[in-house]
């Protein structure tokens, strides 16, 4: 065996990034009997390639790679095989390198919780690793096995134990999409703690940094093969995680995606593909390929590993979420070969990307966003009003009532029609800024609240309208913070600064001049703009098709 001078370092660039286990600390200078430890000395040629000549340096020897020496120990790389969501059989390799200049005895190799994993060792232990020898252990991980991968292998070399972990979650594709006879519901859920006060002000605390994402739809399974496949899938995997495509975000490849390559050509705009999540190319319930996304561009997706199959241009591709079936799965057999069900999937919390793009609000008032997207009046707008109070009633005699709030709790339930994926993405951006009930927003009532009696004048900083008891019953209420004047020449948004009377009419003072002169005939409507928050932490996006969606959401008037 070759020998090294005590003050010599040999560095093998092929293993520069190898993880170090059980690092050996450098010997103390005093223990070597040296006054100093210079980084210079002779080099014995032990390799087929000539070593670089030594260079004399000033100073002392300090810890090297990863806090220890590269040589003089055993390296295992990688020590953890993190498979993430396992949707197909995988093969991985672990390298064991004897970075010593003496032989090392591999005494044993044992594993725990290894069901569904096959290991191919270079040699069955016990065996001997020659100096500087590197060997490979092959790990084959099958899709069949426990849902949670948590295997631990222990390699004992010269009495020292080195561990290899195999972790991940086995996931099976759910290949049955919606029948589209009914809409597909996508639910986004936040969590907010609301602490109200008697005057109507609130403190709101967001308790969930990432919204949860659920999917719900009707499906039909037709054909003997498919109904049998469905039965087996439900029987064997219902309580385990599925890889569920977001069927509403169907896209098609724009060119061939070739086997052995990682690039999938596809327009990803407004489709919700996310780095670190999954995608699936699918032709039928038994012909598909699920892969992890390494990067996303507007015209392509790059997979974390090369594709196993070749997919023609026009192949269907979907973003995928790891989800579980929620509770009971109602299954109805229409015939021997036809079944129907309604399935609800709950996305894995913290792992499923909720697809909530970040974008700044286009219109703000007093530091808060103003939602100016007009609702769909089909079915009307629900506007319930409640004045909370405590009632003491002993069923005989008089009744005592104590008001618990100084203003009514009013709700507005709006419905929006989102005509394309771009509109859906913009609404998702709005929801991302709200974070459920956490963030307030200004919203017009969208019904005519004031009837003007005087034309608009460019230099005027007030409007005059019919009173209709507003001055006496409402007055200068902060809930009526602003007005939106819709005209044939555009919208005018102004803050209300004062409430008064001029004769029998109502006079509202505004923060700035109107900036336009228009007759009353040019005024379409005047809406009060109030401060709201979402009444619930969950919002349902109802997909009528894979391009068009509707949203119904209730908002509650708030003071803060």
Lowest mean pLDDT among 79-83, 197-201, 288-292, 409-413: 197-201
Q: What is the mean pLDDT of residues 475-482?
A: 88
Model confidence at 423, in pLDDT bands (50, 70, 90)? very high
Among 306, 310, 308, residue whose Cα is nearest residue 263 = 306
Q: What are the structural domains of the chain?
A: 1-170 (2.60.40.10), 184-347 (no CATH), 356-560 (no CATH)
Q: What is the mean pLDDT of residues 477-487?
A: 92
Q: How many residues are there in the chain?
A: 560
Q: What is the mean pLDDT of residues 12-21?
A: 39
pLDDT in the model for residue 88:
75
Residue 417 CB-half CA count within 13 A: 5
The pLDDT of residue 325 is above 90: yes
pLDDT in the model for residue 386:
82
- Condensed to tens digits (0 to 9), the pLDDT of residues 202-261 reads 899 999 989 999 999 999 999 999 999 999 999 988 988 899 999 999 999 999 999 999
The pLDDT of residue 15 is above 50: no
Return the HEC string of 30-45: CCCCCCCCCCCCCCCC
Lowest mean pLDDT among 66-75, 262-271, 468-477, 536-545: 66-75
- E-assigned strands of 142-211? 148-157, 160-170, 172-173, 184-189, 192-196, 202-206
Instruction: Kindly give, in sequence order, each residue whose CB lies less than 8 Å from that of residue 229, ignoring residues fewer than 6 positions away.
Output: 175, 285, 286
pLDDT in the model for residue 176:
96
pLDDT in the model for residue 214:
96
The pLDDT of residue 26 is above 80: no
Q: What is the mean pLDDT of residues 131-150?
A: 90
Q: What is the mean pLDDT of residues 500-526?
A: 95
Q: Is the dihedral of CA 108, 111, 115, 117 positive or negative?
A: negative
- Condensed to tens digits (0 to 9), the pLDDT of residues 518-533 reads 999 999 999 999 999 9
How many other C-beta atoms lie within 10 A of the C-beta of residue 480? 20
Q: What is the mean pLDDT of residues 541-560?
A: 93
Q: Between 235 and 24, whose confidence is greater?
A: 235
The pLDDT of residue 351 is above 60: yes
Beta bridge partners of 86: 170
The residue to which tokens 């309580």 are assigned: 239
Distance CA 111, CA 153 (A): 4
Q: Do the beta carbons of residue 185 and residue 391 sit within 8 Å? A: no
| Residue 537 tokens, joined | 């932490």
327 backbone dihedrals φ, ψ, rounded to 5°: 60, -135
Model confidence at 458, in pLDDT bands (50, 70, 90)? very high
Strand (E) or helix (H) holding 426: helix 421-434
pLDDT in the model for residue 1:
38
Q: Burial letters for 405-427: b for 16+ Cβ neighbours within 10 Å, e otherwise? A: eebebbebbbbbebeebebbbbb
pLDDT in the model for residue 22:
41
Beta bridge partners of 344: 216
Mean pLDDT, the chain, rounded, equals 87
Tell me the three state secondary structure of residue 94: strand
Among 86, 81, 91, residue whose Cα is nearest residue 19 = 81
pTM strictly above 0.85: no
Q: Between 53 and 378, whose confidence is greater?
A: 378
Among 201, 240, 209, residue whose Cα is nearest residue 479 = 201
Report the relative pairing of strands 409-418 and 385-386 from DSSP bridges. Answer: antiparallel
Return the HEC string of 336-350: CCEEEEEEEEEECCC
Distance CA 112, CA 92 (A): 18
Distance CA 169, CA 444 (A): 47
Q: Which DSSP string do the residues of 48-82 spell out, in sequence order?
A: SSPPPPP---SS-----GGGS-SSSEEEEE-SEEE
Q: Between 400 and 220, whose confidence is greater?
A: 220
pLDDT in the model for residue 44:
59
């Amino acid at each position: 065996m070759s020998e090294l001078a005590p003050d010599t370092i040999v560095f093998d660039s092929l293993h520069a990034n190898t993880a170090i286990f059980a690092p050996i600390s450098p010997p103390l200078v005093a223990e070597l009997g040296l006054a100093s430890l210079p980084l210079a000395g002779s080099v014995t040629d032990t390799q087929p390639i000539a070593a670089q000549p030594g260079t004399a340096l000033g100073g002392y020897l300090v810890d090297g790679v990863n806090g220890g020496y590269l040589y003089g120990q055993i390296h295992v790389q990688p020590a953890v095989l993190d498979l993430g969501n396992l949707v197909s059989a995988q093969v991985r390799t672990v390298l064991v390198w004897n970075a010593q200049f003496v032989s090392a005895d591999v005494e044993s190799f044992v594993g725990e919780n290894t069901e569904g994993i096959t290991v191919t060792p270079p040699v069955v232990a016990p065996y001997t690793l020659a100096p500087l020898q590197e060997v490979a252990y092959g790990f084959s991980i099958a899709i069949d096995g426990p849902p949670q991968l948590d295997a631990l292998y222990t390699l004992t070399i010269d009495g020292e134990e080195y561990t290899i972990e195999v972790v991940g979650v086995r996931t099976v594709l759910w290949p049955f999409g919606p029948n589209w006879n009914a809409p597909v519901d996508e639910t986004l859920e936040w969590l907010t703690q609301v602490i109200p006060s008697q005057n109507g002000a609130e403190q709101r605390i967001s308790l969930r940094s990432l919204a949860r994402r659920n999917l719900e739809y009707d499906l039909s399974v037709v054909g003997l093969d498919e109904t049998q496949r469905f039965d087996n899938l439900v029987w064997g995997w219902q309580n385990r995680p599925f890889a569920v495509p977001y069927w509403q975000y169907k896209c098609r490849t724009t060119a061939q995606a070739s086997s052995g390559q990682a690039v999938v050509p596809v327009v990803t705009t407004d489709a919700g593909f996310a780095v670190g999540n999954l995608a699936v190319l699918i032709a039928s319930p038994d012909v598909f390929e699920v892969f992890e996304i390494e990067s996303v561009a507007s015209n392509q997706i790059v997979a974390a590993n090369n594709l196993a199959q070749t997919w023609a241009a026009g192949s269907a591709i979907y973003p995928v979420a790891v989800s579980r079936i929620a509770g009971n799965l109602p299954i109805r057999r229409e015939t021997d070969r036809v079944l129907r069900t309604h399935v609800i999937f709950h996305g894995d919390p913290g792992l499923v990307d909720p697809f909530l793009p970040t974008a700044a609000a286009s219109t703000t008032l007093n530091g808060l966003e103003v939602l100016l997207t007009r609702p769909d009046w089909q079915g009307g707008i629900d506007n319930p009003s409640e004045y909370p109070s405590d009632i003491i009633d002993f069923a005989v005699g008089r009744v005592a009532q104590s008001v618990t709030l100084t203003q009514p709790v009013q709700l507005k339930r709006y419905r929006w029609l989102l005509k394309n994926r771009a509109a859906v993405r913009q609404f998702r951006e709005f929801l991302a800024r709200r974070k459920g009930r956490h963030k307030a927003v200004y919203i017009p009532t969208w019904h005519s609240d004031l009837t003007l009696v005087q034309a608009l004048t460019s230099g005027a900083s007030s409007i005059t309208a019919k009173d209709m008891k507003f001055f006496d019953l409402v007055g200068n209420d902060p809930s009526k913070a602003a007005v939106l004047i819709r005209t044939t020449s555009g919208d005018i948004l102004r803050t209300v600064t004062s409430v008064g009377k001029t004769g029998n009419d109502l006079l509202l003072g505004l923060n700035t001049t109107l900036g336009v002169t228009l007759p009353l005939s040019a005024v379409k409507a005047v809406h009060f703009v109030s401060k709201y928050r979402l009444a619930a932490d969950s919002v349902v996006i109802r997909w009528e098709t894979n391009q068009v969606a509707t949203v119904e959401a209730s908002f509650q008037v708030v003071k803060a």
